């Protein structure tokens, strides 16, 4: 075998070895493949205008949706509370997917348990799984709180989480006063952002139950389903710290998805303290930084009598200005000179690079808040959004993004493709290419297929490391996004075989 402990080959190098090449060539003999010419002919057809029209008439099939399923969001949200074990009532295989998805993105272990419903539970209901599962999870992993969500299987048979959890407590699985917030997260509706929203509302409902609200001076902040939560939450905490604001981050997974390698495994690390979460009912206002993805929680918080201030992924100068000014309005704290300087530096950086940004066209795909924030930034730097594909779109998002595009001279060519998937995006890029594409790692197939260079911003980012450690919010975050975009623009310039700009100085 070509693999050896002396020189370990990664899979890319390993599968180039003659043994594997030979194996793959022989495998083809049994696959009854179409001829190479036929494959080329079909490939060319699928990139034509004729096929684009057929593709956009597609109704009963989704191909590569730019979204994941509800419990994934619920698990991320639950991970952001102190000592909290995400627990999924349903199939074990689903939970393996949530854990691996988060693990591959953050390059960190993702702790989450399942009560492993199988055929008998599908017929008789999953109550026994909940009774045993809560007892085992509590005894083995010693959490301070267990946050329960569901997979499709539990939802199809209609398991009642509230009743099951009460029943499990009566049977002695866990103490009566042990906190078990829950959220039904049926994946056949919504997406990972809906699941996040449902779980955040579920946790706050639990923590705030029976609390009488006495308004204080502090504010709450929540980042929504955010693949950059490690960098972003730290940046938001830094900004609020500089302003001297008293705040609580509601769901803060920045530490649990960035634990140090010092010999100690931390199943739980950091997170919103349970007591702080309870006291958060008294906040003067809650700032939702991804308002489209936390709409239900926003309504719930408003019903409690708090002001809710919603943003949509505040990337860039205008969006950061708006965030800081709203914080200043609500708290009465001034924006310090240090932040004014950071703002000026971002404006300076944008001006330095203006010639390379102006007029470049960008297609985008991703979650509504992510796409809104990035489009806002592109317009700010004079770039032109083109095809905007949002599988988990909402009416509110379409209205607000439409208004944003309408208000800018750079937004005139953009079109929003609500509810469409990445196979639609392929048709769009093949027939009307943009200069660049912005989206998650799944965009790399579009890049290879259509030649439109991919700038990786979104969730998940599996095939590049450590992006999540750097913020995209605040002035510092805006700078990071700017550099990501510019690096790709310069890479493309350098690779242009007919280019006359292979320069050292730009
Ligand atoms: S869509 Fe349903 S079955 Fe598939 S992973 Fe999500 S919860 Fe499980």
Residue 1 banded pLDDT, cuts 50, 70, 90: low
Ligand 1 centre to CA of 45 (Å) is: 33
Nearest alpha carbon, ligand 1 atom 6: 69
Q: Is 126 in the pocket of ligand 1 (CB under 6 A)?
A: no
pTM, 2 dp: 0.96
Tell me, what's the pLDDT at 497? Answer: 80
CATH superfamily of 353-464: Nitrogenase molybdenum iron protein domain (3.40.50.1980)
- pLDDT at 382 exceeding the cut of 80: yes
Among 11-20, 202-211, 394-403, 457-466, which stretch is predicted with the lowest mean pLDDT?
Answer: 11-20
Residue from 144, 301, 312 nearest 220 by CA: 301
Q: State the catalytic residues.
A: 152, 156
Ligand 1 centre to CA of 260 (Å) is: 31
Ligand 1 centre to CA of 70 (Å) is: 8
| Sequence-ordered list of residues with C-beta below 8 angstroms from that of 369, at least 6 positions apart, any chain | 193, 224, 289, 290, 291, 292, 293, 312, 313
Rounded Cα distance between 190 and 193, Å, is 8
Same fold, 219-258+268-341 and 353-464: yes
DSSP 8-state code for residue 148: E
Nearest alpha carbon, ligand 1 atom 8: 94
Mention the CATH class of domain 70-208. alpha beta
Q: What is the mean pLDDT of residues 127-155?
A: 97
Pocket test for ligand 1, best of 65, 187, 193 (most atoms within 8 A of CB): 187
Q: Is 151 in the pocket of ligand 1 (CB under 6 A)?
A: yes
Q: Cβ of 259: how many Cβ atoms within 10 Å?
A: 17
Contact 70, 194 (CB under 8 A): yes
Instruction: Give the position, in ligand 1's atom list, of the atom nearest the Cα of 69.
Output: 6
Q: Is 281 in the pocket of ligand 1 (CB under 6 A)?
A: no
Tell me, what's the pLDDT at 286? Answer: 98
- pLDDT at 283 exceeding the cut of 90: yes
**Phi-psi sector, 251: left (phi>0), alpha (psi -120 to 50), beta:** left
Nearest alpha carbon, ligand 1 atom 3: 152
Q: Is 97 in the pocket of ligand 1 (CB under 6 A)?
A: yes
- The predicted-structure confidence for 198-245, as pLDDT tens digits, reads as follows 999 999 999 999 999 999 999 999 999 999 999 999 999 999 999 999
Nearest alpha carbon, ligand 1 atom 4: 94
Sheet containing 113-114: which strands, arranged edge to edge? 113-114, 84-89, 145-150
| Residue 18 dihedral angles phi and psi, to the nearest 5° | -55, -35
- The predicted-structure confidence for 145-203, as pLDDT tens digits, reads as follows 999 999 999 999 999 999 999 999 999 999 999 999 999 999 999 999 999 999 999 99
Contact 149, 71 (CB under 8 A): yes
- The predicted-structure confidence for 458-477, as pLDDT tens digits, reads as follows 999 999 999 999 999 999 99
Ligand 1 centre to CA of 141 (Å) is: 25
Residue from 215, 388, 406 nearest 305 by CA: 215
CATH superfamily of 219-258+268-341: Nitrogenase molybdenum iron protein domain (3.40.50.1980)
Nearest alpha carbon, ligand 1 atom 7: 151
Pocket test for ligand 1, best of 151, 195, 391 (most atoms within 8 A of CB): 151
Domains of the chain by residue range: 70-208, 219-258+268-341, 353-464
> What is the pLDDT of the chain when averaged over all its residues?
96
- pLDDT at 501 exceeding the cut of 80: no
Ligand 1 centre to CA of 490 (Å) is: 40
Residue from 262, 226, 241 nearest 79 by CA: 226
């Amino acid at each position: 075998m070509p693999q050896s402990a002396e020189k370990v080959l990664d899979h890319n190098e390993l599968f180039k070895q003659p043994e594997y090449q030979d194996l793959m060539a022989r495998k083809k003999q049994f696959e009854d493949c179409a001829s190479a010419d036929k494959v080329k002919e079909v490939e060319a057809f699928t990139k034509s205008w004729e096929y684009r029209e057929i593709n956009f008439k597609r109704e009963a099939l989704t191909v590569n949706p730019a979204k994941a399923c509800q419990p994934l969001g619920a698990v991320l949200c639950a991970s952001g509370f102190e000592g909290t074990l995400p627990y999924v009532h349903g199939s074990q295989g689903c939970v393996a997917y949530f854990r691996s998805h988060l693990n591959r993105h953050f390059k960190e272990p993702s702790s989450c348990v399942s009560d492993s419903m199988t055929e008998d539970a599908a017929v008789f209901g999953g109550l026994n799984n909940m009774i045993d599962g809560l007892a085992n999870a509590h005894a083995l992993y010693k959490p301070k709180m267990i946050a329960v969500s569901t997979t499709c299987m539990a939802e199809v048979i209609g398991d009642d989480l509230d009743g099951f959890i009460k029943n499990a407590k009566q049977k002695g699985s866990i103490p009566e006063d042990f906190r078990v917030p829950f959220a039904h997260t049926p994946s056949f509706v919504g997406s990972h952002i809906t699941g996040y929203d449902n779980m955040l509302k579920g946790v706050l409902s639990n923590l705030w139950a029976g609390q009488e609200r006495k308004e204080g001076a502090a504010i709450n902040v929540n980042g929504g389903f955010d693949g950059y939560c490690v960098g972003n939450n730290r940046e938001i905490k830094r900004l609020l710290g500089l302003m001297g604001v008293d705040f609580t981050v509601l769901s803060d997974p920045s530490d649990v998805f960035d634990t140090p390698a010092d010999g100690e495994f931390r199943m739980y690390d950091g997170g919103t303290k349970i007591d702080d979460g309870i006291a958060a009912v008294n906040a003067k206002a809650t700032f939702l930084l991804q308002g489209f993805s936390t709409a239900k929680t926003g309504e719930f918080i408003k019903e409690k009598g708090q002001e809710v201030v919603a943003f949509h992924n505040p990337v860039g100068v205008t969006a950061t200005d708006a965030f800081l000014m709203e914080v200043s309005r609500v708290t009465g704290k001034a924006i310090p000179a240090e932040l004014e300087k950071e703002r000026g530096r971002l404006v300076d950086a944008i001006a330095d690079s203006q010639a390379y940004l102006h007029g470049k066209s960008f297609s985008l795909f991703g979650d509504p808040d992510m796409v809104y924030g990035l489009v806002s930034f592109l317009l700010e730097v004079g770039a032109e959004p083109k095809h905007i594909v949002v599988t988990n779109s909402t009416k509110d998002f379409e209205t607000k993004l439409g208004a944003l595009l309408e208000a800018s001279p750079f937004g005139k060519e953009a079109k929003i493709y609500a509810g469409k998937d990445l196979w639609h995006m392929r048709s769009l890029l093949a027939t009307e290419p943009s200069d660049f594409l912005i989206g998650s790692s799944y965009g790399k197939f579009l890049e290879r297929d259509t030649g439109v260079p991919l700038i990786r911003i979104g969730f998940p980012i599996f095939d590049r490391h450590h992006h999540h450690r750097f913020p995209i919010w605040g002035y510092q975050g805006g700078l990071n996004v700017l550099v990501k975009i510019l690096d790709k623009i310069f890479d493309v310039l350098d690779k242009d075989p007919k280019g006359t700009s292979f320069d050292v100085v730009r």
